[in-house]
Every structure is written in structure tokens, then in C-alpha cells.
Structure 1
Amino acid sequence: MEAPLKHANFNLNIGGIVGFLGGEEAISAMESMHFYRYRKWLGWYNSPGSYTIAKHYGRLARSRIWDGIYPGPNDEPAKLLGMDGEQGPPYRGIISGTTLNDTGHVGHVFAQYCHNLATSEEHSSNSVVDESTTNERTTKVMNVIIVDFEEKASNNEGTDLTPLALGDTKSPLRPVAIALVPISLNIACCILCGLYREWYAFGVILYGILCNGIACYFIGSAEVFLKHPSPSEYSPPGNGILEYKSDTLIVCRGSERAINHVVKGKFIVRYGKEGKDVTYHKIGFSAISLTTQFIGQLFLIPISDLFGQIMFLSSLAISWIYNAYLSSIDKEQLQRRLLMKHLPLKNNQCTGTKLQLPTRTSAVVFALLCGLPDLQGDPETNVECAKGIMCHLLPTNTKVWGRWQAEIASKIRELSSEMHPSPPRPADGPFRFAEYDDKGLIEMDKKLLKDLIDDARRGYEFYHKFLNLKQNAPTSGLGDSLA
């Protein structure tokens, strides 16, 4: 059978560029296959950008030979797969005083989850509005999110690695059905080339299908863990505050071991047992095959007839569209789902309450009160913890702020000394600020101190409402809010 366009003089000399085009999309597409069931088995199509893929993932292979073929830093698999490299928000321990300027990629994923969930429309919102305070001073609206962790029995005693179960919890039929479209069309292009005896194009397309399928299988055969340090069993509570994007405070409450999953955690990607396996070499060989594919395209496609070139180009176009679709998937959202599924959270969900406070000062007071593990505990301990948080989150080098922090420390000492079954109402407790020390201040500083005192009172009001809301709905989600 004679192929169409057999006698055409036109030649699609594209062999020199097809190995470079579409490489970024293909790499991005591979980064999402760890989060879907069966995705590693669905790479049987002639993907564009074979040279770029080989150069990127060839660095996973660890030996002098592979380093010579694919030079560059031997990055950890987690970084190459997009599960490392982001800078996390700073963290301050309320009891321990631990200060971390960067909580790493896991801290970034967790903070982003909390921030997005707090403003997500898909979660219900229970608002408690105090009409008497609608005219309160507002500077910068602050979000405060309280997340409760709890200690859980470890299934891997003696290690600090938590295995993360990969795969979407939803039905895998939809991604499988979508993947079958480019796979089927690529095979159809290959069959058409065979029917019309376009053997050069037939061989290049078939070899590309095999190379990409094998590479996807080996690269997708990884195990993902969450690494977190195990502190001493005598460590104090790990309560602390994450500051995210200057407008969100995330109060983490629980044991230090549980909270370390977030503030000191790290994604670890391993191929084989303890990361020592021939899989790394197999990835190297698959990278070599992709490089060979690029060279084969370079020489064989130009000598193929026009119909074979069109079929080859069609297979690449179909594969590029599919890779672009996979690249559009929000991989950070997939990481957030994976992380939140395995964190030691109370009631196995991100329990807590989102609040929006009118000023940063009121937000800090509220977060501080929520973060203290025992307001009926030792007064001096609570005062020292409060001073550390206030110095960390608010200015300290002016006379007015120094006076304000002294007032707050005094109120926390008074609140801790009073033996109440629960914190007193705002109108009855120490945070009513019946009087405070503004002696020796100029008139402008007195007015500023009054505003700051009002902010502190407002922060305590929100704290009291928060306790009432938790009593009425003990399992409320992060979508609950006070406005």
C-alpha cells in the first residue's frame, strides 16, 4: 500500500528540535504521578522533550559514570520531584522559646493549607459578631488559626520516619481513562506508519513510547516519607506560633513530638530499601534510552517520508497536550492533601477556629492566650512565655510598647493567679483594664497606649468567645470563624 503524500517534495525537517520542545511540561507532568494511583503505569506515549527529561532526571542516578554523562549536582529526589526547596514561615515556641527562621518545605505546605482553608468557600462558617464593637479601631486585619495536635502511637518505633501512603483516595478510573486517550492515539499513529511502510517513523514512535513508559515506571516507583526529629520524652509542650505572610498567625498546640512533624519535618523520597537500590541505576539507563531516542529522532525523522513525519509530529502534539494537562494540576495542593492526611491531628482532622481580628496587637494577645498550655499554671512561667512571644511578634524598642508589654505581663500574672474554673468574662477579669500606668508619657504616647490597651482588651474578648465556641462545637473545623 502506497503511503499518502509519497511523492511530495516538501520535507518536515523537525528532527533537530523535537527533543527540546515540551521538556518542561513533561518534567512537570512527571512530578504529579506520585499522587495518583496507577499513574506510573500510564506513561506509554511518545513524549516530547526527551533530551530535557533525560538531562533532568539523569541526575538521580548515583555513580561516577552517570555523573559524567549527566553532570550537575546530585540533588535529593524530593527536590527533583518538587517536594523540597520552599522556605517555610518562621516559628516561635511559646514554652521552649525555640525560634526557627525557616520551617522548610513542610512548614510552607502546612501554612499554605491553613491559610487557604481559612478563606475557602467550600467550608462552612459559623460567625459570631459583636455588634457593639463594629466601630472598633482597625489597622490591618489579621487571621489567627488554632490547630490542635495530639500524640499518637507510632507504627515505626525507633525511627523518625513516617511513611506516606501515596495515591489519590478518589476513584482512579478518571485519570486512567484520560491517560488512555494519548496512549491509544500514539499507538494508532504507530500502526498507521506500519501499514504504510513508514518504518523509520514507526520505529521512532514505538521506541519513544517504550522509553517514556519505562522512565515513568522507574521514576514513579518511589516511596515518600515524612522525616521528623524525636525530642526527649521530658520535653515541655511544643505549643508555638507560625507567622505566615505577615497577616496570618497559626497557633500550634500539642506535644513537641507531634508539632515537630510540621516545624522540623521534611519530605524524604527513596528508591528501594533505605535509598540503596538498583532502581537508581535503572533510572540512569532509562535516561540513556531517552537520550538515544533524541539522537534517533535527529537522524531518522528527516529521511522518513512526509506521511511518517506527520504521524510522528501528531504523536508529539497529542502527548504535549496531555503533558500540559498534567502540568496544570496543582501539585502543591496534592502535597497539602498528602501531608494533612498523615499529620497527628486531634480527631484526625485539622480542628480549630479561624478568627479575623482588627489589629495585629489584638491578634498577638489572642494567639498568646490560646497558646499558653495552662493559664492556671505557674504565673511566673506564663509571664516569661508571654514576654518572649510579645518580643518576637511586636516592637520592643519604644517606651510606649515597653509600658504596654509590662501591662500585659501583669494581667497574665493576675489571670494565672486567680483560681477560676474557666477564664473570667471580659467585664470581670483582669483584662478589663480598669486602670493602667501611663504616667510620664507625653499626650500622644498616652493616646497610643490607650489604643494598644483597647486592642489587648479586644484580643481577650475574642479569646473568651473562642472558648465558648469550642465548648458548643468541640469538633469544629478550620472553617469556623469569628468576625
Structure 2
Amino acid sequence: MPLESPISFLTSALASSQLSSSNFDLDVASGIAIFFGGKAAVSALALQPLYGQLWHGWYNAPGCHAIAWELARTLLQSSISSYSERLSLSLGIDGKKGPKYIASRSGTVMQYTRHLAYVLVNWRGRECNPVVVGLRVSPTPMELMIVDFKNKVPTGNDTLPPRSTRHSSLPIIPIATSIVACAICASVEDWLSFKMIILGMISSGITSAIMSTGQITLERLKPADGVPPGDGMLLSDTRIVILKGNEEDVNAVTKGRLRLKLKGGGYTLLLCAFIALSQATLQLVFMPFGSLPGQIMFLISLVVSGACNLYLSAKEDDVQSSALITLLNSPEVKTYQASSRASAAVLACLALCWESGTPPEQVLREIVPITPRPWKAWSEFVVNNIKKKNTHFMYGRSSAGAHLGLDDREEKLLLELVDDAHAAYDQYLKDNSISIT
């Protein structure tokens, strides 16, 4: 006797007398289940413009009420000309505060930067594979990234389309689950549940497809003519990002605003909100009248798709960073894992001051303390070496702290700091093909 197909087996199990018993029903649960996972649903929708895949989202998912509310709120809070700005903020594509920025040449200090700076300082892509600098085990290791804008950063309508492949195949699982759930509902002739699952698939699919065709643009302010290069650094607790390039390109990171534009503008948003609201209303009203096997299939499709949305929501920063970095037009990136904050400070000074003539002491002052006696002596060595462009780190040990009267403990700290500086100095010169004598 031939084996039964998996769908036939599941159908017979769901239609068994135990599940069909009147003492067991899911009428209320099947109706209110659509209201769970709203935040995750909005996060998953926000990733669609970054993936750019029309087939994503074609599954029966919970949280459509949250999508309807978010899109309607965007329309209510925006004028026709600024809906793209409000939409990018509502979906989390823009709006996060970046770290402090200090321009080494102009002296400009920004306590907070914009979304792209936040993305850059949290970027952990394959391009960020760091070179380890120094052997000392320090309680304050730091990562330093040098981003050199060799290519112009396109903005406005010329903005490069952001794209990511991170976790892009995951929606296959909820799509397949929803299709199987529909097939089982049809096999038990529960056409109401069948239609409600199909409704969820089509509603979510249309909304996701529309969002996937949205155009993300980068808007920036044009700097005044004659301004110096925009070299500077972004400072976070565990990472320093050096930005090198024209003021206009650096501004794209520190001051740039992201916009999400849809064909049809606000009318398209209204359509998406109406579709999501219709799905929530119809499923809430009609699903309690489905059969028990149909309700079970409906809930299974929601659970699987909700889990997918929740996972994508947890990985939102990862997907967003890999996608939005493409807006910067492939800058040259070099990353160092410095053993201590002192090593990172020396690398930052070399990157910003070696060729530009920027005073190294003002860079050091922003990263490490230079007033305590050991740090003061150390900073003098670092500044002198960079200003003289020594091709080997010079350290006058005999006069290291004599005029400052350093005790044994302070002298020991100074020697450790000098070792950190020496390692960073040699590594940077080696990587930049500067001859070491």
C-alpha cells in the first residue's frame, strides 16, 4: 500500500475526532493573534527597500494593524512635500543619533551626528577585518577604522541604491508555510480559512513589493566654497572612525539625511495603509468562524511568519549597515584592533596629521588624558615624532621623566605607553609604505 502524502497525513490528523471536539476551539485566539508582533512587522517592512526583492513578504503575517497605523501616522504628520522624510523616520531608515565628530582641520565639533555616522561606527562587515596592533593586554582596547573617500559620494537622485544580502533567503520559510497551510485548508474544504490565509499573503505581499521598489536618497548640505578637506573623527566608547576626504563627502556621513520615496507619493502610502487595515479587519471578523483545522493552520502560518519578522527585527542593524554602506560608493577602509586607547590615539594622529600638518596634540587631547605627568611626557614624544615625521619612533629614555620627577609607578606606566605608541607607529608606517629606518 503506497505511503500517504505529508499533506494527506496532516489533514487526517487535524480532522480527527479529538481535535474536532466541541470542547476545544480557537475562535478567540485565531481572531486576536493578528495583533501580536506589530513592532517586528514594521521592522521587517522597513528592510524591504534595502533588499529590493519583490518576492519578499508574500506570507500571512501578524502585526498588519501596526503597519496600517505607522503608515497612516506618517501621512497625518507630514505635508505632501515631506512625506519621504517622515516615512524614513517612521520606519527607522533614518533618525538615529550618531557619535561625536571632531573635524581636525577646521576645528568643527559636532556633539551628535546623523544616521549614517551611527551606521558607520557600528559597521561590522567583512571589510572591517582588523589588523591587531600591540601585544599588551589593556582594560581599554579600541578599534580604529580609517575611511578614505577616494570616490565621490552620490546624493539626491543620483544616490546609489542600497542593497543587502544578509538573511535575504529567510522569507522562503514563512512563504512555504503559508502555502502549505492553504493547501491543508483546501483539503479539508475549509474555504473560509483558506481565503483568510490567502488574504494575508496577498496583503503583506503587495505592501512589501511596493516598499521594495521605494527609492532611498541621501540628501546633504553643500559646504561653502574654499572650505578645507573634511578630515576628522567619529568618537564612540569602543571605536574611532577616521573620515578622510572632501568636506562635501564627509558631510554626507555627518549631516546627511535619508529619504524614502515611493512612486505615487502619499497616495501609495494611503493604499498600503488601507490594504493592511483591511487585512486586520477581515481576519479579525471572519477567522473565528473557520473550522478547527483551518484555525490551527492559520495560527501556524502566523507563528512561523511572526518568528521570521522577529528574527529580521533583531538583525535590523546588521542588515541596515551592510546596505547603507553602499551609499558611500566603496570608500577605502582600513581597520585596526588597538591593544589600548593609547595605541588607537597614535594611529588617529598619524592618519589625520602626518600629511596635513594638523597639530597632533589637539587630536590626542580628544582621545586620551594628556595632563597627568606620565601621559604628558608620552604625548610630547608622540607629538615630536609626528611633527618631525620620523620614520622610526624616537624615545629619549634617559630624559623620559627626569624633569617631571616621575616615580617608579609613573615611569612604568610611561614605558607601557611608549611600547603602545611604538607598535602603532611602526604598523601605520608599514601599511602606508613609509620607509622605516
2:51 match: 36
One-letter amino acid of the counterpart of residue 145, structure 1:
M
C-alpha displacement at 1:237, in angstroms? 1.9
Taking the aligned partners of 2:133 and 2:406, their CA distance within structure 1 comes to 36
C-alpha displacement at 1:249, in angstroms? 2.3
Taking the aligned partners of 2:212 and 2:317, their CA distance within structure 1 comes to 17
3-state SS in 1 of match to 2:334 = coil
From the superposition, tell whether residues 316 and 146 of structure 1 become closer, same or farther in structure 2 (CA, over 3 Å).
Answer: same
Taking the aligned partners of 2:67 and 2:274, their CA distance within structure 1 comes to 13
From the superposition, tell whether residues 291 and 63 of structure 1 become closer, same or farther in structure 2 (CA, over 3 Å).
Answer: farther
1:13-412 to structure 2, matched below 5 A, reads 13-14=27-28, 15-38=30-53, 40-62=54-76, 76-113=86-123, 118=128, 138=138, 140-152=140-152, 159=156, 163-168=159-164, 174=169, 177-178=172-173, 180-192=175-187, 196=189, 198-245=190-237, 247-272=238-263, 276-296=265-285, 300-304=286-290, 308-329=291-312, 330-344=315-329, 348=330, 350-357=332-339, 359-372=340-353, 374=355, 377=357, 382=358, 385-395=359-369, 405=379, 408-409=382-383, 412=386
**Higher relative helix content:** 2
TM-score by length of 1: 0.71
From the superposition, tell whether residues 226 and 211 of structure 1 become closer, same or farther in structure 2 (CA, over 3 Å).
Answer: same
Taking the aligned partners of 1:410 and 1:42, their CA distance within structure 2 comes to 58
1:9 match: 22
3-state SS in 1 of match to 2:431 = helix
Can you give the 5+ residue segments of structure 1 that lack an aligned partner in the other structure? 65-72, 417-422, 473-483
Taking the aligned partners of 1:256 and 1:402, their CA distance within structure 2 comes to 32
Question: How many residue pairs end up in the alignment?
Answer: 412
3-state SS in 1 of match to 2:258 = strand
3-state SS in 1 of match to 2:199 = helix
RMSD: 3.9
From the superposition, tell whether residues 128 and 261 of structure 1 become closer, same or farther in structure 2 (CA, over 3 Å).
Answer: same
3-state SS in 2 of match to 1:18 = helix
From the superposition, tell whether residues 425 and 321 of structure 1 become closer, same or farther in structure 2 (CA, over 3 Å).
Answer: same
TM-score by length of 2: 0.77
C-alpha displacement at 1:321, in angstroms? 0.8
From the superposition, tell whether residues 313 and 220 of structure 1 become closer, same or farther in structure 2 (CA, over 3 Å).
Answer: farther
C-alpha displacement at 1:290, in angstroms? 2.9
2:6 match: none
C-alpha displacement at 1:238, in angstroms? 1.7
3-state SS in 2 of match to 1:238 = coil
Taking the aligned partners of 2:143 and 2:252, their CA distance within structure 1 comes to 23
From the superposition, tell whether residues 33 and 137 of structure 1 become closer, same or farther in structure 2 (CA, over 3 Å).
Answer: closer
3-state SS in 2 of match to 1:250 = strand
Taking the aligned partners of 2:416 and 2:246, their CA distance within structure 1 comes to 33
Residues 44, 212 of structure 1: 8 Å contact kept: yes
Deviation sequence 1:294-327 (CA, Å, 0-9, x none): 442xxx33344xxx23213313312431341243
Taking the aligned partners of 1:148 and 1:215, their CA distance within structure 2 comes to 38
Give yes or no for the alignment of 1:426 onto 2:393. Answer: yes
3-state SS in 1 of match to 2:145 = strand
2:8 match: none
C-alpha displacement at 1:77, in angstroms? 1.9
Taking the aligned partners of 2:399 and 2:35, their CA distance within structure 1 comes to 73
2:10 match: none
From the superposition, tell whether residues 101 and 311 of structure 1 become closer, same or farther in structure 2 (CA, over 3 Å).
Answer: same
C-alpha displacement at 1:183, in angstroms? 4.1
3-state SS in 2 of match to 1:17 = helix
Taking the aligned partners of 2:346 and 2:370, their CA distance within structure 1 comes to 15
Deviation sequence 1:390-430 (CA, Å, 0-9, x none): 332233565665666566555544x16xxxxxx43235xxx
Taking the aligned partners of 1:52 and 1:403, their CA distance within structure 2 comes to 59
Deviation sequence 1:70-128 (CA, Å, 0-9, x none): xxx9982223323234332222111111222222322121112158864x5xx8x6x68
Deviation sequence 1:423-473 (CA, Å, 0-9, x none): 43235xxx556646753x4544x863774476257425522332223329x
Deviation sequence 1:38-94 (CA, Å, 0-9, x none): 3x4443433233334433443233479xxxxxxxx9982223323234332222111
Taking the aligned partners of 1:24 and 1:186, their CA distance within structure 2 comes to 24
From the superposition, tell whether residues 255 and 432 of structure 1 become closer, same or farther in structure 2 (CA, over 3 Å).
Answer: farther
Deviation sequence 1:330-373 (CA, Å, 0-9, x none): 222222221222314xxx3543241423x323431331122115
Give yes or no for the alignment of 1:467 onto 2:433. Answer: no
Identity of aligned residues (%): 22
